[in-house]
C-alpha cells in the first residue's frame, strides 16, 4: 500500500480550512480516506458560529474517520449522516445553526478492503479512480457546476442555493444531505490507484487546464502530491489578479491524497 499526502493553505496567515486523514487497520489490508474542504465564511455577515471553520472540519473529519474505520459495516452515507449529526450536536447550544453560512464542508470519502473500493463525494471536491489499464475516471458532484456562472459570482445568490433543493449541498447541520452525495462501489481489482483533490488542487485541471485528469494522476504518482500543489501555486502567481484564469480566490487551500490500495 502506498499513501502520499500534501496539504497547504492558500495564503498566509489564513488557516488552512482543508482537513484530511487516512487510517489503515492494523490487521492487514484496507483503509479509509477523508478529505474535507471547509467553506470560507464571508467577511461580512459572519456565520453564526463561535467556533470557526477549522473547529468544524476537525470535528466532522474526526467523526468521519472514526466511524468509517471502526464501523466497516456502516454504509458511507450513514457514516456521513451520523458524523454531521454529532458535529451539529456539539455546537447546537452555542451557535445559530440556521445561519446560511454556518460552518460547512465539501467531502470526499473512500474506504477500501481486499474486495471493494467504496466512495462518496459531496459538493465540489474530486475523486480520481484509475483502472489497471490506466483509464482515469473522475467522480464529481456537479450540482454547483450546473448553477450559472453569473449566479455563482454573487455571494448572496449563491448562499440562497446552499443546501436547498435545486441548489447544491454541503456537509453542514442536516444529516439528510448525506443521501444527496455521489456514491459508488468498485471491485478492488479494478482500482490501481486513486487520488482525492480539494478544488484548490483540482484547479490545475479545471481552471488552469494544464492537463486532463489522467495527466493529473500521472503527475501525482510520479512526482508526488506536493508537486501538483507547487504547480498550482506557480500558475496562481503568474496570474495573481485572475485576469487570464477567472477564479473565486487568487490562491486557495489545496489538498492532494494519493493511494495505491
Ligand atoms: Zn459553532
Ion ligand 1: protein residues whose beta carbon lies under 5 Å: 49, 51, 91, 95
Distance 49 CA to ligand 1 centre (A): 4
Question: To the nearest whole percent, how much of the chain has pLDDT over 90?
Answer: 78
Of 14 and 193, more confident: 193
Whether the predicted pLDDT of 104 surpasses 70: yes
Residue 226 has pLDDT above 90, yes or no: yes
Q: Which pLDDT score, from 0 to 100, does residue 161 have?
A: 87
Q: Where are the domains of the chain?
A: 2-260
pLDDT band at 41 (very low <50, low <70, confident <90, very high): confident
How many angstroms does the Cα of residue 111 sit away from the middle of ligand 1?
29
Q: What is the pLDDT of residues 42-69, one digit of tens each?
A: 777 788 999 999 999 999 999 999 999 9
Res 29 pLDDT > 80? no
Taking the centre of ligand 1 as the mean of its atom positions, its distance from the CA of residue 158, in whole angstroms, is 22
pLDDT band at 27 (very low <50, low <70, confident <90, very high): low
Q: How far is the CA of 22 from the centre of ligand 1 (A)?
A: 25
Q: How far is the CA of 144 from the centre of ligand 1 (A)?
A: 25
Full-model pTM: 0.94
What percentage of the chain exceeds 70 in pLDDT?
99
Would you list the DSSP string of 147-201? S-HHHHT-HHHHHHTBTSTTSB--BSS-GGGGGGSEEEEEEGGG-SEEEEE-HHH
If you measure from the C-alpha of residue 149 to the centroid of ligand 1, how many angstroms do you get, rounded to a whole number?
30
Could you tell me the distance, in angstroms and rounded to a whole number, from the CA of residue 52 to the centre of ligand 1?
6
pLDDT digits (tens, 9 = 90+) for 125-184: 999 999 999 999 999 998 888 888 788 778 778 888 888 888 889 999 999 999 999 999
- What pLDDT is recorded for position 26? 62
The pLDDT tens digits of the residues spanning 170-219 come to 999 999 999 999 999 999 999 999 999 999 999 999 999 999 999 999 99
Q: Which CATH class is domain 2-260?
A: alpha beta
Amino acid at each position: 500500500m502506498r499513501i502520499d499526502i500534501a496539504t497547504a493553505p492558500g495564503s498566509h496567515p489564513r488557516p488552512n480550512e482543508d482537513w484530511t486523514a487516512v487510517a489503515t487497520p492494523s490487521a492487514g489490508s484496507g483503509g479509509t480516506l477523508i478529505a474535507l474542504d471547509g467553506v470560507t465564511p464571508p467577511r461580512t455577515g459572519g456565520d453564526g458560529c463561535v467556533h470557526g471553520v477549522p473547529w468544524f472540519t476537525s470535528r466532522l473529519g474526526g467523526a468521519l474517520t472514526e466511524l468509517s474505520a471502526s464501523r466497516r459495516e456502516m454504509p458511507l452515507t450513514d457514516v456521513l449522516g451520523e458524523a454531521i449529526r454529532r458535529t451539529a450536536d456539539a455546537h447546537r447550544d452555542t451557535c445559530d445553526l440556521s445561519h446560511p453560512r454556518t460552518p460547512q464542508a465539501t467531502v470526499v470519502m473512500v474506504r477500501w478492503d481486499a474486495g471493494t473500493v467504496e466512495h462518496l463525494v459531496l459538493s465540489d471536491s474530486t475523486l480520481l479512480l484509475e483502472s489497471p489499464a490506466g483509464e482515469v475516471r473522475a467522480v464529481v458532484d456537479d450540482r454547483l457546476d450546473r448553477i450559472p456562472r453569473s449566479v455563482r459570482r454573487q455571494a448572496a445568490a449563491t448562499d440562497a442555493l446552499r443546501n436547498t433543493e435545486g441548489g447544491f449541498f454541503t456537509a453542514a447541520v442536516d444529516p439528510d444531505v448525506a443521501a444527496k452525495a455521489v456514491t459508488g462501489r468498485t471491485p478492488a481489482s479494478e482500482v490501481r490507484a486513486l487520488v482525492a483533490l480539494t478544488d484548490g488542487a483540482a484547479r490545475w485541471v479545471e481552471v488552469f487546464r494544464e492537463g486532463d485528469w489522467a495527466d493529473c494522476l500521472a503527475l501525482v504518482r510520479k512526482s508526488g502530491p506536493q508537486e501538483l500543489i507547487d504547480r498550482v501555486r506557480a500558475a496562481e502567481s503568474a496570474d495573481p489578479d485572475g485576469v487570464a484564469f477567472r477564479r473565486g480566490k487568487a490562491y486557495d487551500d489545496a489538498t492532494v491524497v494519493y493511494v495505491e490500495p
